[in-house]
Amino acid sequence: MRSAEIPDVLPALLPDRIVQLTEELTGGPAALYVIDIEGSSACRLTAAAGFPATIDISGALGPEAGRLAIDDIRDQLEAVVPNAEAAPLWVRCRATAVLVASQDQHGVLEEIGATVAPYFELASGYTDLIERCRRVRRTSAAAEVQQDLLAPRMTPIAGGEVAGSLLPAYDVGGDWFDHAENPEGAWLTVADAMGKGVRATAVSAIALAALRGARRSGDSLEECCQAVDDAVHEMAVAEPTFLTAVIATWHASSRTLAWVNCGHPAPLLMAADGTTEELCGPLSLPFGVAEPGTRHFERVQRNLATGDRVIFYSDGITERRTPSGRFGIDGLIGAVDTAADPSAAAVADAIEQAVMNASDDDISDDATQLVLRVD
């Protein structure tokens, strides 16, 4: 295929060019869909006539689709465009968009999707067109910052995989999750800033920047915690604030999870043998509370086994109100048991769906999670 043409296209024109190229090579109408930031629908970015504007879906984590969501898109699409074929634009086991063709007589659609996927991923950093389509309504300023803070929702890592999500997508702000795989292992973090809205998001942005800066300088787990504490203290000069977090590292070769908990809910271990346990240990004060320079951060370590799943989460999940009280740890455990399969993405999706369905009321506090599954 003529992939040499793709890099020369202006980012804002790339979606139209992808669809045009697909139509030329498949011989029929085509469309390009992206997933909205809440993960509830696939939105038509550009297409010929005859393709629906939106497709209701399940299984996505925010604007990223794993195999569960792609299967759902295919099922929903078949009902409205019979015989249509869909090719995910896979980038590291997650689809950033879905290319649809009304026919694929030459069997080239998957190849087109694989070829254009990295260009499409890069293009979103140069134009608002793609992100505009991913928003079905206006985001608050805090939510917009929050969306930009987040790491990819799902990715394989050495010795396992991770998947994360955050609700609601269009409002609130203050929670975040982060992950990065370095030579020393994979870093995993879930955090929750005091309050809501712009102020909480500002604290979160500075705290995450401090963590990433320290991490990228090669600092240890404890040194990264100190960097976050210093940054939150600076934010607290004008107005008192704090941030809770669990900052962890996963070392695949030794199968060791190490973490520091600063005032945050304890991670939940759902072991392969069927047992469930909160990963407790020394609990430090939240970041920004103790006097600067007086902190001591104590790590805890635990060996994990194949099939173990660790859920890092914020209290917006367990404190979610239900008709009978609160979602709680029991609700979290029950949600994991309903996952379509043991993968991190399926577990994260099951938790997200359970939290949303727990009440007819809007989610009033960020509900954030990061799931580690050990291979």
Domain locations in the chain?
Answer: 3-133, 141-374
* CA atoms 127, 130, 133, 135: torsion sign: negative
33: Cβ contacts below 8 Å, ≥ 6 apart: 42, 43, 44, 45, 55, 73, 97, 98, 99, 100
Structurally, at CATH architecture level, domain 141-374 sits in 4-Layer Sandwich (3.60)
pLDDT higher than 80, residue 49: no
| Assigned CATH topology for domain 3-133 | Beta-Lactamase (3.30.450)
Residue 171: predicted pLDDT: 87
Separation CA 295–CA 302 (nearest Å): 23
Q: What is the pLDDT of residue 4?
A: 53
User: Could you report the per-residue pLDDT of 26-37, keeping only the tens digit for each?
Assistant: 999 999 999 999
Give the global pTM: 0.94
Query: Whole-angstrom distance between the N-terminal and C-terminal Cα of the chain?
Result: 37
Q: Cβ distance 328 to 318 under 8 Å?
A: yes
pLDDT band at 1 (very low <50, low <70, confident <90, very high): low
At residue 290, does pLDDT exceed 90?
no
Over residues 341-362, the mean pLDDT reads 94
Percent of the chain with pLDDT over 70: 98
Task: Give per-residue pLDDT as tens, 106-150.
Answer: 899 999 999 999 999 999 999 999 999 999 999 999 999 999 999
